[in-house]
Chain A
Amino acid sequence: MMSAEPTTASSGAKTSNANVPPRFAAENVVPLRTRLGLWPARLLGEELIRRAQSALPTHLFGVDVRPGPKPIVSRELPPLNFEGEAMRWGLVTNKTGNAHLEVELCREPCNEIGTTALSELELLATLIRRGAGGARAMIFYSSVERGFCAGADLRELHAGLVEKATETGGLRGKVETAVEVRGFIDRIHAVFDTFDTAPITTISAVHGFVFGGGFELALTSDVIIADKSARFAFPELRLGIVPGFGGIPRLKRDLGNALVRDLLLTGRSMRASRAHEVGLVSQLVARGRALDAARSVAEQASRFDPETTARAKAFTKPLPVEELAREKDLFVSMLGSPTVQRALEKFVNDESVRPYLP
């Protein structure tokens, strides 16, 4: 493992702040509250929701998810080597003598993203905002056999929605649920935006299921390397919702809208070789070899001047800020509907052998 390089880390942090929209920058989380009167209406609305959330007893999916998460406002440098419930990460010194960060998703059955994973991802995002310990690249991969990530934790989501409806009921229950969902979505967008705009080369090494939120996580990376077992899908419409973690704006950034609509509106899955043909996957490798190829990319990226990499990335990969904001609004407006609750109910009670397939 490599120790942090203060100069590089400092430089990385500055570059990160230059690329991240101001509303997501860590240092703005607290000051925003003191400049309420200067805000545009939409941001003011978000701040009011944020304040409302802090006043409510909020338990999304059974866990406190009030925004203003501690990891984001913390001034502590998160650990460079971490072992959590949903993931592990560490700095790896490669042949160039520089380091890259490897993030292993390791939660059975298939790295579903719920509150535990989100909390750990927030810690990782904080590390990245603080310069990633001098790492010049980052790799996401999964050690779970089934795949990279099957998406949001729908069982947790279902439990949260049903429990809230039962606990509170009526209009108050609906409002509380909407506020909690909004808080969760704001948090995950902040994290994914950080990964997306990190001033280092980011790589997702994927296999098996790359569905829903897992697909959305992979789409934050600069380079997607897939082994031949990988399949990509947005099955959200079968639940009565749209992808809510920024997937559609990011997919539209990379692919033609015709294919984006096909994947979104049919929920069908696309195999790795096809994803390679259409330009979603940049490198297609043999089964079980995606991480090897990703390490090779990380090593190559580590040879380059970090500032040049950061500027090249910012030039080629702008964050679709407006569309991401609209997607959040759309997702939250859909989630409370009876259609969604019925679809979630069906999913959690589905004992068929193909619960992941749309």
Chain B
Amino acid sequence: MNRQQLISKLIELATKRFGEKAQGLESSDDFFDRLGIDSMQAMELMTDLEDELEVEIPDYELQGVTTFDQLAEVIEVRL
């Protein structure tokens, strides 16, 4: 899976979880701002990503991560 495919997958999973709010998301969008999600929803998205991609994403690597581009960079290492 290359970077672009990974980003598409991340956006697809976010759309699946957050529905309409996630329509039209771009890879550079700040998903906390765009989706208006709280800590629990962020945690649920993280669990979705880990289950779907079969990886473990340590929370500490997500410090400061707010866009799908940045998220893909973190996850790519563990695929």
The chain A residues found within 8 Å of chain B, CB to CB, are 145-147, 208-209, 228-229, 231, 233, 266-274, 353-358
Contacts and interface: CB of A to CB of B under 8 A. Distances in A.
B40 to A, nearest CB: 5
Given A353-B32, A357-B59, A271 B39 contact: no
A270 to B, nearest CB: 8
Contacts of A208: 40, 43
Interface of B: 32, 37-40, 42-44, 46-47, 50-51, 56, 58-60, 62
B40 A268 contact: no
Given A267-B59, A271-B50, A271-B51, A356 B32 contact: no
Q: Of residues A146, A228, A268, A272, which shows the largest number of chain B Cβ atoms within 10 Å of its Cβ?
A: A268
A206 to B, nearest CB: 13
Nearest to B61: A268
A272 B56 CA distance: 11
B31 to A, nearest CB: 11
Contacts of B51: 228, 271, 273
28 contacts: A145-B40, A146-B40, A147-B40, A208-B40, A228-B47, A228-B51, A229-B44, A267-B60, A268-B58, A268-B59, A268-B60, A269-B43, A269-B59, A270-B56, A271-B47, A271-B50, A271-B51, A274-B50, A353-B37, A353-B38, A353-B42, A354-B39, A356-B39, A356-B43, A357-B39, A357-B42, A357-B43, A357-B62
Nearest to B33: A353
Contacts of B59: 233, 267-269, 357-358
Contacts, number: 53
Contact of A209 (B32, B43, B56, B60): B43
A289 to B, nearest CB: 16
Nearest to B51: A273
Contacts of B32: 353
Contacts of A356: 39-40, 43
A266 B43 contact: no
